[in-house]
Structure 1
Amino acid sequence: MTPDPAAPRDPGVSTAHAVSPDSGEHWTAEGAWRVADGILRIPLPLPMDGLRAINVYVIETDDGLTLVDGGWAIPVARELLERCLRDVGYGLGDLRRFLVTHVHRDHFTMATVLGQELGIDVALGADEKPALDLLNNIEDLTENPFVEVLVSAGAREVAEQWVRMDDDREPPDMSIWAYPGTWLEGDHEIAVGHRTLDAVHTPGHTPGHFVFAERAAGLLFAGDHVLPTITPSIGFTMPEVDQPLGHFMASLTKVRGLPDLTILPAHGPVAPSSHARVDELLAHHERRLDDSARLLGAGPVTAYDVAQGLGWTRHETPFAKLDVFSQGMAAMETKAHLELLVARGRATREAAPDGLRYAAPGS
């Protein structure tokens, strides 16, 4: 569960072509790249994912290593992590703790596997517990948990295709979804060796997302909250939460209130200014809200209807050309925008047999 490749991308250098200043190479290039004194960036692969890699950050201390995020628990990623650590004089035995930004598999699953194997702490936001509860009781589910969300967005046919795709998949390996040793709650400080990190709760992409800011070094371990070349998916959350886009934009504003920091993102190159990027992301979603409001027309229409009138990816790809998974992601993200329009009084909502329907006020 990663940022949505179908989500609208912002202007600028694309993720596919971005060079990171710490390496001087494409941001996915193999290696343990030093981004600051005592901090290394290791890109780990994401097979079959449009993002291609996740950046795992290694913080060196006198007592060993703290990792921010862990990667996806697949053999190729573990082998690369071990190789990159070995190249700079470390091994898995030097790991002491994981600070995980959020529960998605590319961030959490290798952290929890290694945490259990090595007997070290894994910390995760407390508001991710409902998702882990659902995953750890998956045998009790009667259907894909996203079906209800897709149907409410007016995307019943897409939901049926998602169910068929699920039928073709192997059952999930529940060993990679163990509960963390520490639940992060509220904004607080975390000591990492001689460093002090501000753990800042930033719900939106997921309910329990955290970023970690080291003010003294001018660094922001941003997870998927502030990405330099794309926007993270919004609304792709189980169980469903109220106002994910509203939470995301409020969290962006919270991060904007921190000092201007160098962005150490989970996906993409190291970037120079959290303030500049937050401003771009907020402006991007305000434009998307305006575009969605204009497509309400006389209404009432579903989120699926509105999504079909929007362009997707930085190439403004028509909705009809997206694959079925991306169409579902797009419908859920559009629903998140429409729900925020309702909260702001710029749209109305009513229940209908084919899903929630939205209209401009007074129409």
Structure 2
Amino acid sequence: MQPGVHRVPLPLPNDGLHAVNVYLLENLADDNGIVMIDGGWAIPEARKELEAAMAAIGRDLGDISHILVTHIHRDHYTNAVELRRLLGSRVYLGAGERPGLELLGRLRNSEPAGSLDVLRKAGARELAERIRKMDHGGYDPAVWEAPDHWLGAETLRFGDGALRVIPTPGHTKGHVVFLDEQHGLLYAGDHVLPHITPSIGFELAEPGGRPLADYLDSLRLITRYGDARLLPAHGPVTDSAHTRVAELLTHHDNRLAQSLDALGEGGLDAYAVARKLGWTRRNVPFSELNAFNQMLAINETAAHLDVLVLRDQVTVASVDGIDQYTRVR
């Protein structure tokens, strides 16, 4: 790891991903403070791990002056807001997340409203209703407050260092990454992950646009900058962000071809297509996924089919509120 950069895996309270990486940057010291990338989930276990990591480098929580959050999901954002209340740190978040945060404040619950709407249009209304009734952890307005600064495409300067903010919509509408060009480091959040592909379009806000098309464009955008070490939110640090971007683009090319094959000749909704595909690196049948992961699978299938529509390989028509896709002959 680059001197002055510390990766700290913080625990998560679920059985999917077990940890989220946050990064403590002493190499961008601002008035002897520490810049932190991502905040983690606001649970006591995460606070304890963070305190221990700070102590290990001869610091304490009070030294965290700025928290730069890659996106709005609770495993990245909620602990940043909690730390701001405790420490007075400044919190930064991509401007594209603003509609989702404002919708959350109006709904006052943590259900993924945008993703549930996608399920309904995909023909999975029963699954959407089942997920809507699940416990989504309640709504605590204290950890969903607005950031101090909404980020666009800009450069943040701390002391003698700088981070380029690059908007990378796809995983969420407002996802951003932070590029330290001086040291060749890319703090990639969930945009580029070393071993898994991030979910696409898992939104709190209303659905809209073409999240996979945005994601593929955002991946290509990364290659317009010099290659850098990949510092992801989940998994280990790797040497080349560009190498992993190329692998992700190939993966989605393959997945688009599989989705087209699964669509076949007749008109199908995204729910039907998702049930014909394998999932995860182990090619697990759709029926073996839990309800939450079935939602992610259907959302991603709809996103892939929408890209095929953009490429004029598939047509789509709404029938009784459900999108029906048909292969172009």
TM over 0.5: yes
Q: TM-score band (shorter)?
A: over 0.9
- Correspondence 1:254-265 to 2 at 5 A: 254-265=221-232
Greater RCO (CA < 8 Å, at least 6 residues apart): 1
- Correspondence 1:97-136 to 2 at 5 A: 97-136=66-105
Deviation at 1:144, TM superposition (A): 4.8
Show the counterpart of 2:187: 221
Q: In the alignment, does 2:38 pair up with 1:72?
A: no
Q: Take 2:109 and 2:32, find their aligned partners in 1: how far apart are those partners?
A: 43
Show the counterpart of 1:86: 55
Q: In the alignment, does 2:173 pair up with 1:207?
A: yes
Show the counterpart of 2:247: 280
- Correspondence 1:167-246 to 2 at 5 A: 171-185=138-152, 187-239=153-205, 240-246=207-213
Show the counterpart of 1:40: 6
Q: In the alignment, does 2:32 pair up with 1:63?
A: yes
Structure 1 counterpart of 2:68, which letter?
L
Q: Take 1:183 and 1:116, find their aligned partners in 2: how far apart are those partners?
A: 18
Q: Take 2:149 and 2:303, find their aligned partners in 1: how far apart are those partners?
A: 30
Residues 272-300 of structure 1: per-residue CA shift (max 9 Å, x gap):
11111000000100110111111121121
Structure 1 counterpart of 2:170, which letter?
G
The SS at the match of 1:57 is strand
CA RMSD, 1 decimal: 1.7
Q: Take 1:81 and 1:141, find their aligned partners in 2: how far apart are those partners?
A: 25
Unmatched 5+ stretches in structure 1: 1-34
Unmatched 5+ stretches in structure 2: none
Q: Take 2:95 and 2:216, find their aligned partners in 1: how far apart are those partners?
A: 20
Q: Take 2:265 and 2:202, find their aligned partners in 1: how far apart are those partners?
A: 28
Q: Take 1:50 and 1:142, find their aligned partners in 2: how far apart are those partners?
A: 18
Cα gap change, 1:202/1:144 in structure 2, threshold over 3 Å: closer, same or farther? Answer: closer
Check whether the contact 1:156–1:354 (CA below 8 A) recurs between aligned residues: no
Show the counterpart of 2:300: 333
Deviation at 1:171, TM superposition (A): 2.7
Check whether the contact 2:122–2:298 (CA below 8 A) recurs between aligned residues: yes
Question: What TM-score do the two structures reach when normalised by structure 2?
Answer: 0.95
Show the counterpart of 1:311: 278
Deviation at 1:235, TM superposition (A): 2.3
Structure 1 counterpart of 2:92, which letter?
A
Structure 1 counterpart of 2:70, which letter?
T
Structure 2 counterpart of 1:126, which letter?
A
Residues 131-151 of structure 1: per-residue CA shift (max 9 Å, x gap):
100111124999955432211
Structure 2 counterpart of 1:47, which letter?
P
Check whether the contact 1:71–1:77 (CA below 8 A) recurs between aligned residues: yes
Cα gap change, 1:180/1:141 in structure 2, threshold over 3 Å: closer, same or farther? Answer: closer
Q: Take 1:285 and 1:142, find their aligned partners in 2: how far apart are those partners?
A: 27
Deviation at 1:174, TM superposition (A): 1.5
Deviation at 1:195, TM superposition (A): 1.3
The SS at the match of 1:136 is helix
Deviation at 1:71, TM superposition (A): 0.4
Cα gap change, 1:36/1:224 in structure 2, threshold over 3 Å: closer, same or farther? Answer: same
Q: Take 1:97 and 1:267, find their aligned partners in 2: how far apart are those partners?
A: 21
Structure 2 counterpart of 1:119, which letter?
G
Question: What TM-score do the two structures reach when normalised by structure 1?
Answer: 0.86
